[in-house]
Amino acid sequence: MKRILFLPLFILFFQVYGVLAQEQIPHLKQVGNKYQLVVEEKPFLMLAGELGNSTGTTMESMEPVWPRLKELNLNTVLLPIYWELFEPEEGKYDYQLIEDLILEARKHDLKLVVLWFGAWKNSMSSHVPSWVKLDQKRFPRAISKEGELQEILTPFSDNNLRADLKAYQNLLRFIKEVDNSQQTVILMQPENEIGMLPSARDHHPLANQKFKEKVPGDLMDYMVKNKGTLNSEFSKIWKNNGSKMNGSWEEIFGKGLHTDEIFMAYYFARFVDKVTEAGKKEYPLPAYVNAALNRPDVKPGDYPSAGPLPHILDVWKAASPNIDFYAPDFYNPRFKHWNDLYVRQGNPLFIPEHNFDNTVAAKALFAIGHYEALGFAPFSVEQLPDEPLTPKEQKLAQVYEIVHQIKPILEANKGQNRIEGVLLDKEVNEMTFRLGDYEFTAEHTFNLGWEPNSGEDIWEPAAAIIVQTADNEFFYAGYGVSLKMKNLEKPNSRIGILKTDRGYFEEGKWKVFQHLNGDQTHQGRHIRSFIDDASIQRFTLYEYK
């Protein structure tokens, strides 16, 4: 009798275990009003960096890089896999490089975001294999308005789609085979900075044919269904042309370069969606697409047009349901402006590329604090791996270390309006925000004349994350920021600092290193750390009348 019972239980155990194993694939999870990347059933914040474009092409080139990534305190590397190296001959895949990279990343306790440099990399098709480059009849190119062939595969060709899709699918199949149980690869980026150049749209005969057809039903349905929540730039175009429900591209959106861009965005997104869908059928890792941001007052086609840019993100969302989110690359100073545009409609924020300048450490803090971002990555993070760390690299390493320490409190308070980020520089040297009953005013410490180099022209940006952990208890993690507080619910009371400790987290437990007071708190007036002091403080507040 016992034996008969045991067998079904045994089968049940394996069925349940199978389901659990399935659930453990890295995935996105909504927590309150934000998103988390979950890896091995635990929240994972990507303290990342992206490799320069050619660094990961051989293991020899990577040798000095691995220790450098650890010195910078990264937990994640964004690493391209190149179609030309992956499928050097049609149908013959070379898995060696990806396998070696995964194994080496594991040895260094690093996770990988795999960037598929497939059909498109920064608009161009420079990374497609030679058998694709050389057979332009079979793998047709986009054509400019002037009739010139471009080194850009047209997204309107089924051959182009099938070839790219097959390679990507094989890549995902292989990643699953070698990595399913270890989860080194946690996220995919199909293609890189898609965009149309030098005309706003492709003028290949296949494209011209599609341009004459009606706007496809899935885009129209999406627009109708989401009419009230479409991004304003996009809905305005539709409205200005009479909010029609049926018609050609120019009937629905009007004549002009903006319509060329909308049209291209739809077909680029359809292409990437099919590639991603095929990959997800093999191994459903989450996937995002990145964008080269456009400069204001530059026309579509003069900038790489039709990528997942804020003004056409609705088109991308309608046409690429297999993409989990869309991400901005920053070689552009307006950090808050663009991020505010990207987080609309609940798009989770991830910064896969930021020019590796002296602002990255501060912007990482701000992105993780203010937007509760999934992660942050300076571009070409390895730079000169054999040299000592430069000041901007040291700052990044310090910031990643303190963020790594405060992860438990970030996770516990995620998505509940209990986390804020501050980013200050010479122009924006003060900001206010609310956490619980308190209003905080954050100022750059240069502003207050306390720093030895206050008054100089160049202000290093300052930044901090503030987390509310109880009604009157907060953590500060950052540098160059001074905080003063008032209680908005008790306007007649004044607020003082009851206690401030500087410390660190060890295995998730808070340890006090120093009890701060006196000059360190400006005799009880402020919570602050100077520009060269990236550190963590826990503080409690009290009121007096």
Q: Does residue 191 belong to the site contacting ligand DGJ (CB under 6 A)?
A: no
Among 36, 55, 122, 482, which residue sits at the site for ligand DGJ (rule: CB under 6 A)? 122
Closest distance between ligand DGJ and the C-beta of residue 539, in Å? Answer: 40
Token pair in block for residue 369? 């604090």
Closest distance between ligand DGJ and the C-beta of residue 379, in Å? Answer: 6
Q: Does residue 379 belong to the site contacting ligand DGJ (CB under 6 A)?
A: yes
Q: Does residue 157 belong to the site contacting ligand DGJ (CB under 6 A)?
A: no
Query: Measured from the CB atom, is 283 or 326 closer to ligand DGJ?
Result: 326
Nearest residue to the partner ligand DGJ, using Cβ: 193
Query: Measured from the CB atom, is 329 or 443 closer to ligand DGJ?
Result: 329
Closest distance between ligand DGJ and the C-beta of residue 97, in Å? Answer: 18
Closest distance between ligand DGJ and the C-beta of residue 353, in Å? Answer: 6
CB atoms within 10 A of CB 359: 22
Query: Cα separation of 25 and 333, whole Å?
Result: 36
Closest distance between ligand DGJ and the C-beta of residue 138, in Å? Answer: 27
Query: Measured from the CB atom, is 354 or 526 closer to ligand DGJ?
Result: 354
Closest distance between ligand DGJ and the C-beta of residue 352, in Å? Answer: 8
Q: Are 485 and 541 in contact (CB under 8 A)?
A: yes
Q: Does residue 276 belong to the site contacting ligand DGJ (CB under 6 A)?
A: no
Q: Does residue 294 belong to the site contacting ligand DGJ (CB under 6 A)?
A: no
Closest distance between ligand DGJ and the C-beta of residue 327, in Å? Answer: 11
Q: Are 367 and 44 in contact (CB under 8 A)?
A: no
Q: Of 238, 186, 191, whose CA–CA distance to 215 is shortest?
A: 238
Query: Measured from the CB atom, is 82 or 283 closer to ligand DGJ?
Result: 82
Query: Measured from the CB atom, is 324 or 353 closer to ligand DGJ?
Result: 353
Query: Measured from the CB atom, is 189 or 199 closer to ligand DGJ?
Result: 189
Determine the distance from the C-alpha atom of residue 396 to the mean position of all C-alpha atoms in its chain, rounded to a whole number.
Answer: 17
Q: Does residue 288 belong to the site contacting ligand DGJ (CB under 6 A)?
A: no
Among 144, 157, 169, 192, which residue sits at the site for ligand DGJ (rule: CB under 6 A)? 192
State the DSSP string of 215-245.
PPHHHHHHHHHTGGGS-HHHHHHHHHTT--S
> H or E stretch including 172?
helix 158-179
Give a three-class secondary structure readout of 58-107. CHHHHCCHHHHHHHCCCCEEEEEEEHHHHCCECCECCCHHHHHHHHHHHH
Determine the distance from the C-alpha atom of residue 522 to the mean position of all C-alpha atoms in its chain, rounded to a whole number.
Answer: 38
Placement of tokens 């924006």 in the chain: 428
Query: Measured from the CB atom, is 156 or 356 closer to ligand DGJ?
Result: 356
Determine the distance from the C-alpha atom of residue 330 to the mean position of all C-alpha atoms in its chain, rounded to a whole number.
Answer: 11
Closest distance between ligand DGJ and the C-beta of residue 109, in Å? Answer: 25
Closest distance between ligand DGJ and the C-beta of residue 79, in Å? Answer: 12
Residues 304-363 that bind ligand DGJ (CB under 6 A): 329, 353
Scored b (16 or more CB within 10 A) or e, 28-63 reads beebeebbbbbbeeebbbbbbbbbebebbeeeeebe
Q: Does residue 53 belong to the site contacting ligand DGJ (CB under 6 A)?
A: yes
Q: How far apart are the first and last CA of the chain?
A: 76
Beta bridge partners of 483: 442, 527
Query: Cα separation of 269 and 129, whole Å?
Result: 22
Query: Measured from the CB atom, is 80 or 284 closer to ligand DGJ?
Result: 80
Token pair in block for residue 321? 């349901």
Among 87, 164, 193, 314, which residue sits at the site for ligand DGJ (rule: CB under 6 A)? 193
Query: Measured from the CB atom, is 269 or 291 closer to ligand DGJ?
Result: 291
> H or E stretch including 495?
strand 494-506
Query: Measured from the CB atom, is 192 or 500 closer to ligand DGJ?
Result: 192
Q: Of 302, 280, 374, 332, whose CA–CA distance to 36 is shortest?
A: 374
Query: Measured from the CB atom, is 248 or 355 closer to ligand DGJ?
Result: 355
Q: Does residue 382 belong to the site contacting ligand DGJ (CB under 6 A)?
A: no
Residues that bind ligand DGJ (rule: CB under 6 A) add up to a total of 7
Site residues for ligand DGJ per CB under 6 A? 53, 122, 192-193, 329, 353, 379
